[in-house]
Amino acid sequence: MKLSLSVLYLFFCLTGIARAQKVQPFQQGDRVVFTGNSITDGGHYHAYIWLYYLTHYPARRITIFNAGIGGDVAQQIFERLDSDVFAHKPTVITLTFGMNDTGYQNLKGDKADSVYNVKVVASLKSFALIEAKLATHSEVKKIMISSSPYDETSKIKINPLLNKNAAILRIAAEQQKAAARNNWGYVDFNGSLTQVSLHEQQQDSLFTFNNADRIHPTNDGQMVMAYAFLKAQGLAGKKVAGVVINAVAKKVESTENCDVTQPDISPVTIRFNYLANSLPYPTDTIPGGFGRPQRAQSSALKLIPDEFNQETLQVKGLKQNQYALKIDDKTIGIYTAADLGRGINLALIKITPQYQQALAIMHINEERWEIERRLREYYWIHYSILKPKGLLFNDGDATVDSLQKYAKKDFFVAATIPTYRKARFKSVREAWQQEIDLLTNQMYKINKPVVHRFEITLIK
């Protein structure tokens, strides 16, 4: 597939950014804990990464955990490492912070620089404690991720906090240095999103990945973050599958990551059985994200190359006529000989049975994410609200009464209390976790590719 000049520009930007420090791909049995603040807590990038592994490596079972807490700075992350991160018995930990660490003060000039300096120093002091703690767990692989950017350049209505992202980048520079000296992986979310945003803002000054608050990436931004992560893992160019057929020679010229059996090939009719080792990557087309609905996950596909989702079918030597492609007796599309000669990308055709299979996995993964979010709301109440009051994991009636009073002056607590009132019961949390486990098992049950019968016939 040919790339537009716009996408090629972004390709070169993201290539340089995402390969800043290569990250090892996840392996069979890995337990991966994504640790961070609200951008992780309420974000989708880890779910999108898991969906890639579910579809592209269906036999490689991994488990991914969300360990984000909204509002966290490095010190708070340090304080919950044992109880909220290592409690999952991870084999891999990712870590990102910096957005909250730099504060939200609306200052200018020397006064702003002075405040940022103090906050950056405090953040890095806590990061030193995190680094020392992680060093005691040599059995766990670590991946440092720079904070996604604070968008100061979009012309949306809310006034930006000047130089905030520059302060975030100061923290990111130290994060990258720590990754280098400790032999950790490193992924640059900040640079990846910033490059794309600046490019898009040349055409649309209101473009932003960061919703109306300039902070939280919406789902298309979360997809770009997942793209940067997977690219850093060296997974670009790993095809779903590929088939090349020579109709004149009446043979299958090549296959990639799939098996083709029982071929029956002529210049006018081609039939074969097809078993891929992977499934196409499905994307959600429903707008969503932080706050008001924004662009959908699928919107990101216009902004990044499709190098992670190639399921190609190429047929050489057909006559200059139209051909119908059927899979399992279902018409997928009508293509010219030229179309088939160049090759078509089946991964982008949503009515194929293999895409529909992947779509079911995506919906189950989203359901799993929704249930896990309930648990994260429970832990947010504890770590952000109750811990400072000495009430960590105290779920008694007095705590509920205290939260009800506190909610009158805190919108976020008020919004979270309905979930907390259920989750404070251990049996409820256990039931939710059982649902997550059941859904995870189901994803790995239905993500195995199956044999499909292809038929390409001349339309007379």
Give pLDDT, residue 289: 56
* pLDDT given for residue 302 in this prediction: 83
Residue 408: exposed, middle, or buried by beta-carbon count in 10 A (0-12, 13-18, 19+)?
exposed
Nearest-angstrom CA–CA distance, 394 and 424: 9
Structural domain range at position 339: 241-355+450-458
Q: Are residues 81 and 217 in the same domain?
A: yes
Number of other residues whose CB lies within 10 A of the CB of residue 124: 17
Q: Do 254 and 209 belong together in one domain?
A: no
- Domain check: are 98 and 141 in the same one? yes
Report which DSSP code applies to 162.
T
Pair 218, 274 in one domain: no
Q: Give yes or no: residues 391 and 436 share one domain.
A: yes
Pairwise CA distance, residues 116 & 170, whole Å: 10
Last residue of a domain, one of 183, 214, 232: 232
Q: Which of 232, 257, 288 is the last residue of a domain?
A: 232
- Average pLDDT of the residues of the chain: 92
pLDDT at residue 435, rounded to an integer = 98
CATH of the domain at 292: 2.60.40
Query: Is the pTM here over 0.85, yes or no?
Result: yes
d(CA 441, CA 36): 26
Same domain, 85 and 211: yes
Same domain? For 280 and 152 the reply is no
Please spell the DSSP secondary structure of 216-276, one letter per residue. S--HHHHHHHHHHHHHHTT-TT--SEEEEEETTTTEEEEEESEEEEEEEE-SSEEEEEEEE
CA distance 160 to 137: 40
Question: Is residue 351 domain-shared with residue 418, that is, in the same domain?
Answer: no
| CATH number of the domain bearing residue 195 | 3.40.50.1110
Cα–Cα distance for residue pair 84/371, rounded to 1 Å: 17
How many Cβ atoms are within 10 Å of 8's Cβ, its own excluded?
12
Please give the tally of structural domains in the chain. 3
Task: Tell me: do 128 and 199 sit in the same domain.
Answer: yes
Q: In whole angstroms, what is the distance from residue 221 CA to residue 372 CA?
A: 21
Question: 151 and 45 share a domain?
Answer: yes
* Contact (CB, 8 A) for 326 and 271: no
Which of 209, 232, 255 marks a domain boundary? Answer: 232
Instruction: Give residue-wise pLDDT tens across range 337-375.
Output: 999 999 999 999 999 999 999 999 999 999 999 999 999
Rounded Cα gap, residues 171 and 128, in angstroms:
12
- Give me the pLDDT at residue 344, please: 97
Which portions of the chain are predicted below pLDDT 70? Answer: 1-21, 287-296
Same-domain status, 319 and 301: yes
pLDDT of 14 reads 52
CA distances to 150, 190, 267, 289 from 161, rounded to whole Å, are: 9, 16, 64, 22
Same domain? For 9 and 132 the reply is yes
Separation of alpha carbons 176 and 174, rounded Å: 5
